Amino acid sequence: MSRRLRKAVGGLAMLAFLILYVAVAVTIAGYLPANRAIQMIYFIVAGVAWGAPLIPLIFWMEKGR
């Protein structure tokens, strides 16, 4: 697969993942208690955690392995 095609496929995969991730994160947030401290911690963790699953995809897009 050419690098250009890998980047196109990877970009679409990232977009699909992020849409799903946001939908799940917002759904889970609806079940959190009304405590602002818990909500703040949850959104900080959820706001940072989306990057970890994308690292292998980004590596594949760049190197093709």
Write the pLDDT tens digit of every residue in 10-31: 999 999 999 999 999 999 999 9
User: What's the CA gap between 41 and 54, in Å, rounded?
Assistant: 22
Q: Look at residues 25, 17, 19 and name the one whose alpha carbon lies nearest to residue 52.
A: 17
pTM: 0.85
Structure tokens at 24: 């799940």
Domain positions in the chain:
3-63
User: What's the CA gap between 2 and 38, in Å, rounded?
Assistant: 45
pLDDT of residue 65: 67
User: Residue 41 pLDDT > 80, yes or no?
Assistant: yes
Residue at 48: amino acid letter: V
pLDDT of residue 56: 92
